[in-house]
Amino acid sequence: MDTLLTQILNSLFYASILFLIACGLSLVYGVMRIVNMAHGSLYAVGAYVAAWAVGLVASYLHVSLLLVLLLIGAAAAALAGALLEPTLLRPLYQRPEEYQLLMTFGLLLILEDLMRMVWGPYPLTASALSEFFPSISVLGATYPGYNIFVIVVGGAAAVGLWAFIYRTRFGILLRATSQNMRMASALGVDVKRIYVQAFTIGCLMAGLGGAVVMPLSGAVLGMGVDALILAFVVVVIGGLGSLEGALVGALIVGAVRTLGIMYFAEIELAVLYLIAAVVLFLRPAGLFGRA
């Protein structure tokens, strides 16, 4: 019973991080029809900036205050997004989508090396943060408290994003633009602004994901490239452009990873990609996507 519970919590933990990465990827695609290959790198930027900020003041502040610093990582990724969209992506909207994919691939190469340049080749860590949380016993199972914190952050992000998109005026404009950009524009929606805001929110979520995962796994070179592929699997299963899809996809991938580590560690990744391929084969637009 308690192992089962631990496995469920593990799945939820993976799913939280995956959702934080994948929801931004999906949001950006839904609104702008761009698949951002540099999205994983913005997740890594969140991790690096958070680790750097925590390391800077770790000796002066109490650990609980350091948690707030994780938000700086998210903010840094958001800022990067707000700068990149108008300068490098906006000129390409009229072009075939190959160019947008290539541009974001170029950005990925640049961002990966930029992080190496600024923070060096060695991982940055802030394990004090995760150790600050005591292990919690839930129904007889002992579970690391920080992981619960990540699950809570992931859940809060999902609820917050949902409320933002379905319950605010900005969300209505966003959905209108996503459904029909020309019509929205003709009705007076400032599409340029919506694009920048959507891209920034997507990057913010990725940065938050990177920041919350950092105390556990550290900020490591290449983490973004690895994360991007998993996020692709999530959005392919769930459906590109759909937030519900990102959530369900994240839960599926989180569960498969947890099972995979237990029962089929060697082919865990292969199984994930195969699931994605099968879903695409049966439902080209993913479980929740529209073609």
Partner 1 sequence: MSQALLASGRLLAGWRLAVGIAIALFLVLVPRLLPPFQTLQLSYGLIFAIAALGFNLLLGYTGLLSFGHSAFFGVGAYTAALLVKYMGLSSMEAFVLAGALASAVTAALFGAVCVRYTRIFFSILMLALSQVIWSLAFKLFWVTGGTDGLRVPTPTLLGGSVALGAGEDKLVFLTHRYYYYVLALFLVCVGAMWVIVNSPFGKALQAIRDNETRAEFVGVQVRKYRWIALVVSGTFTGLAGTLWVPLNGLTTPDILYWPFSGKIVFFVVLGGFRTFLGPVLGAVVFNYLETYAIGFTVYWQMVLGVVLVLLVLTMPAGLVGTLAPLFARRRRIA
Query: Rule CB under 8 A: which residues touch partner 1?
Result: 35, 37, 88, 91-92, 95, 97-99, 101-103, 105-114, 116-117, 225, 229, 232-233, 236, 240, 265-270, 273-274, 276-277, 280-281, 284-285
Which is nearer to partner 1, 138 or 285 (by Cβ)? 285
The nearer residue to partner 1, 194 or 276, going by C-beta atoms, is 276
Nearer to partner 1, 124 or 228 (CB): 228
29 or 195: CB nearest partner 1 = 29
Token pair listed for 225:
């490239």
CB closer to partner 1 out of 10 and 36 = 36
What are the C-alpha distances in Å from 252 to residues 52, 181, 235, 239?
Answer: 32, 31, 11, 13
Minimum distance from residue 133 beta carbon to partner 1 (Å): 32
Q: Least distance to partner 1 from the beta carbon of 66, Å?
A: 31
Q: How far is the CB of 291 from partner 1 (least distance, A)?
A: 9
CB closer to partner 1, 101 vs 136: 101
- Rounded to a whole number of angstroms, the minimum distance from the CB of residue 84 to partner 1 is 10
Least distance (Å) between residue 65 CB and partner 1? 35
Q: Give me the least distance between CB of 103 and partner 1, in Å please.
A: 5
